[in-house]
């Protein structure tokens, strides 16, 4: 992994608390006929992030449901394998040996324009590392990408006293989408960790939203972010919280919010999108056990604090 760690082709959404786990009740990405997107254009957002916009008639069935953390499962064919169209994930799994199944990579929907029928996805790029990143870096108009979904489960509560959002590059698309959806009079504090100032982006947000860009530099992923959020003076009132990104720092921020601050789980959207040392397949296979371990470590203290309140 590069010196400025980012998820290896993975963005979004195993939940430690309060949201359905990806592939759960809302996880339409598990199987069925996939959507067929055609690259309309791409745009370099920063040295290490590219936006690819998909369109075409193959998106006629695609629809979102108001969440700001919508995600899709991109399908990359096994080398040398072609599948009958329309691509049907269930059919592939029934008729093809496992080694010929497409590789999936999870990405947050940055935006969906139902009138233009254009879907924007943001990709972290680290040279030839990974699968989806290099695809995005080389995507040209007319290229085809199949995907399933969307899933998702979070949108900022318009009635919340205030909002706290924190994450790394993998969470940036969802944080940006959430900020755009906040009411004009909302109060929000967003902490976004990126490698350095060159990776910052101009985001749309209400006047009451304070956006803090945390520069990782040569430090471990999440270290500066945890320090920034830990040193932040909490406002009065009950916040609605969105914390997503690398599983290690997400665990630390969950401890801060759930155990030290005593926030109830129904006000927390906390998600380990990826984990250092794991590709998406390895993280997905170990995610449930990781989440269970985190809860076993933190919930007794959180519940004790709640009982004594």
Coil vs helix vs strand at 68: coil
Give pLDDT, residue 20.
29
- Residues 214/224, Cβ–Cβ less than 8 Å: yes
Tell which residue, 139, 189, 175, has the closest CA to residue 39.
139
Q: What is the pLDDT of residues 96-151, one digit of tens each?
A: 999 999 999 999 999 999 999 999 999 999 888 889 999 999 999 999 999 999 99
Kind and range of the H or E run holding 287? helix 280-308
d(C-alpha 143, C-alpha 41), whole Å: 10
CA of residue 219 relative to chain centroid, distance: 22
pTM for the whole structure: 0.89
Give pLDDT, residue 308.
67
pLDDT < 50: residue spans in the chain: 1-8, 10-29
Max Cα distance, the chain (Å): 61
In Å, what is the CA distance from 286 to each residue of 219, 246, 281, 283, 309? 26, 14, 9, 5, 34
Give pLDDT, residue 9.
53
Give pLDDT, residue 128.
87
Give pLDDT, residue 22.
37
């Amino acid at each position: 992994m590069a010196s400025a760690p980012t998820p290896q082709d993975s963005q979004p959404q195993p939940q430690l608390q309060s949201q359905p786990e990806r592939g759960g009740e809302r996880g339409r990405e598990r199987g069925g006929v996939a959507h067929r997107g055609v690259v309309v254009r791409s745009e370099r957002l920063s040295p290490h992030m590219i936006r690819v916009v998909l369109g075409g008639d193959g998106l006629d069935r695609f629809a979102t449901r108001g969440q700001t953390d919508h995600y899709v499962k991109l399908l990359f064919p096994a080398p040398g394998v072609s599948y009958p169209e329309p691509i049907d994930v269930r059919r592939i799994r029934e008729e093809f040996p496992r080694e010929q199944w497409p590789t999936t990579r999870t990405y947050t929907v940055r935006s969906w324009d139902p009138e233009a029928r254009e879907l924007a996805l943001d990709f972290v790029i680290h040279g030839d590392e990974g699968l989806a990143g290099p695809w995005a870096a080389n995507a040209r108009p007319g290229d085809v990408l199949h995907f399933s979904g969307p899933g998702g489960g979070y949108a900022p509560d318009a009635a919340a006293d205030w909002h706290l959002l924190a994450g790394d590059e993998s969470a940036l698309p969802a944080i940006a989408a959430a900020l755009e959806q906040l009411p004009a009079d909302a109060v929000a504090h967003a902490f976004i960790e990126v490698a350095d100032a060159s990776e910052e982006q101009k985001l749309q947000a209400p006047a009451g939203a304070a956006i803090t860009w945390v520069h990782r530099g040569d430090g471990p992923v999440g270290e500066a972010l945890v320090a920034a959020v830990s040193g932040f003076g909490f406002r009065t009132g009950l916040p609605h919280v969105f914390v997503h990104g690398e599983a290690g720092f997400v665990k630390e921020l969950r401890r801060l919010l759930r155990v030290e601050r005593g926030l109830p789980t129904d006000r927390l959207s906390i998600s380990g999108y990826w984990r250092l040392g794991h590709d998406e397949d390895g993280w997905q296979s170990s995610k449930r056990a990781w989440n269970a371990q985190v809860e076993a470590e933190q919930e007794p203290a959180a519940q004790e604090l709640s009982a004594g309140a």
